[in-house]
Chain A
Amino acid sequence: MLRHLRLMFCFAKFSLLGELAFRSNFLLKILVELIWLGILLTFFKTIFGKSSNVAGWNEHEFLFFVGAYYALEGFVETFFLENCVEFSELVRSGNLDFCLLKPIDPQFFITLRRVDWSTAPKILLGFIMISFAMYEIGKPLELWKVPLFLILFLCGCSLAYSFLLLLTALSVWMIRNQSLMEVWWLFTNLMRYPRQIYDSEWALPIRMVFGFIIPALLAVSIPVEFAVKEINIEFTLFLFVIAVVYFQLSRMFFNYSLKYYRSASS
Chain B
Amino acid sequence: MNKYFNIARLSLKERLTYRGDFLFSSFLRFLPMITSILLWKSVYSSSEQDSLSGFSFKQVIAYLLLVNISRMFSSMPGLATNLARDVREGSIKKYLLQPIDLIGYLMSYRIAHKAAYISTSLVPYIILFGSCASFFDTFPTPVGCAYFILSLMLAFVIGFYFEVCLGMLSFWILEVTSLLYVVTTLSFFLSGHLIPLDLLDTTGWLDVLKNLPFAYLAYFPAAIFLQKISDDDLLLRFFIGVLWALFFFLLSRVILYFGLRKYSAYGA
Residues of A at the B interface (CB closer than 8 Å) are: 22, 24-25, 28-29, 31-32, 35-36, 39, 42-43, 45-47, 49-55, 178-179, 182-183, 185-186, 189-190, 192-193, 196-198, 200, 203, 206
Contacts and interface: CB of A to CB of B under 8 A. Distances in A.
Contacts, number: 90
Interface of B: 21, 24-25, 28-29, 31-32, 34-35, 38-39, 41-44, 46-47, 49, 52-53, 175, 177-179, 181-182, 185-186, 188-189, 194-195, 199-201
Given A50-B47, A179-B28, A35 B38 contact: no
A28 B179 contact: yes
Contact of B200 (A42, A189, A192): A42
Most interface-central of B38, B42, B43, B182 (chain A CB within 10 A): B42
Given A25-B178, A43-B195, A190 B46 contact: no
Given A178-B21, A179-B21, A28 B46 contact: no
Contacts of A36: 185
B201 A54 contact: no
B201 A182 contact: no
B38 A43 contact: no
Contacts of A192: 35
Nearest to B47: A51
A29 B178 contact: yes
Contact of B42 (A31, A55, A182, A190): A55
Given A32-B182, A46-B200, A50-B52, A179 B25 contact: yes
Contacts of A203: 34, 38
A31 B186 CA distance: 11
Contacts of A179: 21, 24-25, 28
B117 to A, nearest CB: 15
B185 A39 contact: yes
Which 7 pairs from chain A and chain B are nearest by CB? A28-B178, A51-B47, A55-B42, A189-B32, A182-B28, A197-B38, A32-B181
Contacts of B46: 51-55
A193 B28 contact: no
A39 B32 CA distance: 18
A182 B24 CA distance: 10
Contacts of B201: 45-46, 49
Contacts of B39: 47, 54, 193, 197
